[in-house]
Structure 1
């Protein structure tokens, strides 16, 4: 990799680390046996989900705001964020005595909104995306003189996020591959600056949500290009346009940018909850999701460090995502059967499900419909299963019993 001409240096990252040592502690790095077995190499989880305010964002926000002049601090700051940057800026403002205003999308997760308010920030929810909220933040800065604290596109932000890279090298000095979730690119760029200077042979991989991936097209074009769609559960990395500071760093210092599917993110969230006992938000699980999707098919040299960038997840969203992840993992099966509308029909199918070792979660009787005859009833079932092979065994057992099975795997 050829070093970029960016002004962000390892010396600045080290200075940021010294500054932050009075504010935050290094986050844990945990060896994960389950991921290691699947990948075929040692995998360590860098737990930024356990960081103060729930994500890596406090690193860059505090570093940026600390270096404002006294006159700039007196004017206050403004930010735009889907949640994690908002909390980082609000917490930094609380610690530094700076007034904070944050524009957040109207659908920003409620726990993130409430946490930002709890740190003392003034909140205004506008727009559907981070990019729309950022327009309002820029307008407020121009109108009032408040200092815009960009979520990723500033040298001080990148230097602050790069302190995570220094910790990785201290905690896993023989690391060979680092996998990092990618939105605007602040933490990926910061880690890359640190790695290329201090351990240049490390392979660095950025991971974007497939449904909100601006970087692949931008890298192909050679300049930032807006994403054509933004439909991902990973709101923390749903950034429509790479930044002027971060884009050249990612282009010049990162080995590859990959994408992960929504199903991959769901599976990773469930895997991390079950196997690592870690609560991670969708954006924070994107790197782990890519590793799981590519287990056995990608040549990834270990030790691997997978950055879990945040853990601020709405419990209601978590419930939906866990269910989605269980479907993707083959843990749920939904199908319907049509049987005679006579006593004993329901009992018979329940017994047959039990014989197939499937646990029944929900049952619905449907007696009217265009394709249901007068003497029939349609029974819709949702079952708990043990994986794709078990699903096939259950469906085969039902058909062998003579049931007319109506199964749409896309709606399990």
Structure 2
């Protein structure tokens, strides 16, 4: 495990630059879980994610010659911004290699912090391979996102802050991608209190570390696919796996649907915006992925908040449909004056609010003289939608509903 002295020294290095983020009690989530849940809000970090801790600590430890030559990093986004802002602080040139599919918000954010961005590869691992070559060819220092003790020690400072505020935590729930965060956090927590249970949470669409933990040997994946792009790592690291096997008590998985639900829950109920990777710890709690005593004190790390706006929009739309607050119906009408008004009167009588209407009379699937109407409604729950369906049937309308 990473020595506690290295983590304490990392805390000294980052103090004054990296924010000490809030670690607050979550009453609504606690009521649902039946335990005391505390949220470590790294989404409020200066770059919107915890990664700046490890990046700053690593660059702070470079010698003057290495700083003069510059640094290279590979990242899906959050490590990129952490390296960029840290390099800028020390006056060091930074080249960041990002996957071609990296969210625009993370690419733009990295450039805005003064780094040069090169897009290369279909995923993190392909970007990583190119970054290693680039660093070697240009005599620059490679800042690894997780396979580096100084980086891991920087991430471990999160546990120091959590235990400083709630010293009697029973569990820490930690997102897992490459394993740098949980290596540092688990190493720190277990040395301070060996009785703390460390729960790692990975995305089902990036199963390498979960499978490696389960079988106690390194596994790689053929591909990854998850909305939690911050933990979408294809191959397991032998270095971080060794720390995980030593310090982590349990690993669980959450799928994209569960991650999306957690994002929406945090946004609505906790007024917190997180990205997919940042939501996995809460998803594991909401979905009951691990067992705990009802009196337990649980610290969950929200690792980042740099969510792509388009992804957030899709999650919100799907969430409104699933929670019966939005309803989309398709109705075929005879295309004549007053037909749409009559349909509108039926919907008005139910108290439904029409927010969008699409009127199509040119589809080849329609009979001559018909029109297909797609109506989007704001509704007040399942009972309200049942009322709408009954009113339409009673009025003689045939319809289908989109989910």
State TM-score, norm by structure 1.
Answer: 0.91
CA contact (8 A) 2:327 2:402 kept: no
**Deviation for aligned residue 1:226:** 1.8
**Deviation for aligned residue 1:59:** 0.7
Alignment correspondent of 1:255: 249
Give the counterpart of 1:264 among 253, 258, 261.
258
- CA deviation map 1:358-383 (0-9, x unaligned): 32221112224455322432211222
Partners of 1:398 and 1:299 in 2: CA distance: 47
**Deviation for aligned residue 1:400:** 4.2
Q: Which moved more, 1:307-316 or 1:381-390?
A: 381-390
**Deviation for aligned residue 1:122:** 1.4
Change (3 A) 1:158 1:328: farther
**Deviation for aligned residue 1:139:** 0.6
Q: Number of residue pairs matched?
A: 402
Give the counterpart of 2:212 among 212, 218, 236.
218
Change (3 A) 1:300 1:284: farther
SS in 2 for 1:226: coil
Give the counterpart of 1:180 among 167, 174, 180.
174
Change (3 A) 1:378 1:256: same
CA contact (8 A) 1:269 1:322 kept: no
Change (3 A) 1:182 1:352: farther
Structure 1 alignment gaps of length 5 or more: 1-5
SS in 1 for 2:238: coil
- CA deviation map 1:120-152 (0-9, x unaligned): 211111112111110110111221221111111
| Aligned-residue RMSD, C-alpha | 2.2
Alignment correspondent of 2:15: 21
Alignment correspondent of 1:114: 108
* 1:70-89 → structure 2 map (5 Å cutoff): 70-89=64-83
Give the counterpart of 1:280 among 256, 264, 274.
274
Change (3 A) 1:277 1:68: same
Change (3 A) 1:329 1:343: same
CA contact (8 A) 1:361 1:384 kept: yes
CA contact (8 A) 2:171 2:299 kept: yes
Change (3 A) 1:392 1:45: farther
Structure 2 alignment gaps of length 5 or more: none
Partners of 1:319 and 1:264 in 2: CA distance: 16
Alignment correspondent of 1:339: 333
- CA deviation map 1:61-92 (0-9, x unaligned): 11111112222222211100111100101111
SS in 1 for 2:136: helix
1:330 aligns with 2:328: no
